[in-house]
């Protein structure tokens, strides 16, 4: 039991969680005792069960933390009415950025501005009647060109 508790504590970094992990490990070992081979190493078998149990628990917690957002609430969250201007960018830098955007080739500028306005790639492709790969390419080229012009 002591080596199991030590390993569990290394995994969880919390005494209560470590105790729960040891308990889950022993429960699974009991449940699958028929799969244990008497000529194998019991300690290694239990450590493997513990490691797999810990990984499974972490994956479940990760899935539980995901928030499912309805399309309507996502639209509200992305609405320009709900956005706040970024005061961290100086007016000079904003002017430089806008000047660089206006100097882009028309086809790159159009796709980039639509993307900047919040349109998805497929929406831009439909709106401009071009393939989605072309949209991605134009936006990529626009970004690289803006980086080149602004960073100098």
Residue range(s) defining the domain that contains residue 10: 3-73
Distances (CA, A) of 67 to 42, 71, 121, 145, 152: 40, 12, 23, 36, 41
> The domain spanning residue 9 has which CATH number?
1.10.1740.10
Same-domain check for residues 60 and 114: no
- Contact, 50 vs 11, CB < 8 A? yes
Tell how far CA 136 is from the center of its chain: 20
pLDDT digits (tens, 9 = 90+) for 62-84: 777 665 544 555 555 565 555 56
Residue 134 burial class via C-beta count within 10 angstroms: exposed 0-12, middle 13-18, buried 19 and up: middle
pLDDT digits (tens, 9 = 90+) for 20-58: 989 999 999 899 898 888 888 888 989 999 999 889 888
Q: What is the DSSP letter of 34?
A: G
């Amino acid at each position: 039991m002591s080596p199991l508790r030590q390993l569990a504590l290394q995994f969880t970094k919390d005494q209560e969680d470590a105790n729960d992990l040891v308990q889950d490990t022993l429960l699974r070992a009991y449940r699958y005792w028929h799969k244990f081979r008497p000529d194998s190493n019991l300690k290694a078998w239990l450590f493997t069960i513990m490691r797999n149990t810990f990984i499974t628990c972490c994956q479940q917690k990760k899935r539980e933390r995901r928030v499912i957002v309805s399309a309507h609430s996502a639209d509200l969250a992305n609405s320009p009415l709900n956005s706040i201007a970024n005061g961290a960018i100086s007016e000079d830098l904003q002017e430089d950025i806008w000047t660089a955007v206006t100097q882009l080739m028309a086809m790159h500028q159009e796709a980039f501005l639509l993307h900047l306005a919040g349109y998805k790639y497929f929406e831009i492709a439909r709106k401009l009647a071009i393939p989605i790969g072309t949209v991605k390419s134009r936006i990529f080229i626009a970004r690289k060109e803006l980086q080149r012009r602004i960073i100098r």
